[in-house]
Amino acid sequence: MDVNPIVDLYDALVVGGGPAGLSAAVNLARACRRVAVVDCRRSGRSDWAQINRNYLGFRGGISAVELSAHGREQAEHYGARFYDAELARLHRTDAVFTAEAVGGLTVHARAVILATGVQDRWADFPGYEEYVGRTMHWCIVCDGYEMRGKRVLVVGNDDHAAELAIQLLRFTNMVAVLTNSGSLGMPPEMVQKLDDRGVRLVVGRLGGARSRDGAPGAFATVEVEGGDDIELDHLFSHQGADPNNDLARALGVELNAGGYVKVDLEARTSVPGVYAAGDVTRFSSHQVSTAVHEGAVAAQTLNHDLYLMDQAAFEVGRGGTADFRVEAPSTP
């Protein structure tokens, strides 16, 4: 029996098909909720070639692409409906959210989970895409272990980039920093820390890269504009990221100073009926395991809030049209 058929009004709309969104979809579908997932084809963190080696249960690692494929298949198995489209507009009228996608798709739902992720600002040079997830990384928690005994270059120009370089010394003593700028942006005390720990600091712009022979996506050297090449095995891109928050802004959801969606410990946003999970919240470190957890929390909270709302509606004889009554988050 199809417990979650195509309907005019879904219980939940999940926006985003990364680990957070997929986790939310699985949990909602298994609660026999009518759930729609709208996922655009724009590249996100789960679309690159990286292997997740710290995700529980996969001793040999699993690719982000394969894990996402498994997650979608699992959610569909329990009845979640997927739409491959990019939302152009999301708004609320009375107790119903309406999502309008490019190409004419319209989805109506009682509640929304925003799992829209971020867009990374990569260390950019011609052909950088072939390195991302292979030998270009962004997360020391995910990939630090693989740096043991390797030559590692951190590309960044602030105190956080310097701290990342120092933390990498746990794994290798061959660490350098390239500012990717014509001037020095990190504070003097951090420059001194790098020098004290033997970390080479190069002020200059990244101009290009060369792969090892016969190994596309595997660094051999990077070119510094007007300077000497730097030999390396791996690169950590510390150029920042931009949260995909357009839909959250349109709904009037409160954001923090960095543009990330503010949520409480149960994934509620400042707007009743709107929840958020994953990298767009920056609630936890940007890892697959934390995104999956946050997606599950958002789904369970949404499901319980709908239950309370429906019970209240039943008791007053309104047949399920009661509105959300939840507190706004206080967590920054």
Q: What pLDDT was estimated at residue 102?
A: 87
Q: What pLDDT was estimated at residue 221?
A: 97
What is the Cα–Cα distance from 11 to 285, expressed in whole angstroms?
29
Q: What pLDDT was estimated at residue 82?
A: 97
Task: Tell me the CATH class for 128-237.
Answer: alpha beta
Burial (CB < 10 A; 0-12, 13-18, 19+), residue 6, is exposed
Q: What pLDDT was estimated at residue 285?
A: 64
Ranges in the chain annotated CATH 3.50.50.60:
10-120+241-316, 128-237
Q: Which CATH superfamily hosts domain 10-120+241-316?
A: FAD/NAD(P)-binding domain (3.50.50.60)
Q: What pLDDT was estimated at residue 287?
A: 86
Q: What pLDDT was estimated at residue 1?
A: 37
> For the segment 7-61, what is each residue's pLDDT rounded down to a tens digit?
589 999 999 999 999 999 999 999 999 999 999 876 777 777 789 999 999 999 9
Low-confidence ranges of the chain (pLDDT < 50): 1-6, 326-332
Q: What pLDDT was estimated at residue 130?
A: 94
Question: pTM for this one?
Answer: 0.90
Residue-wise burial string across 47-74, b where 16 or more C-beta atoms lie within 10 A, e elsewhere: bbbbbbeebeeeeeebbbeebbeebbeb
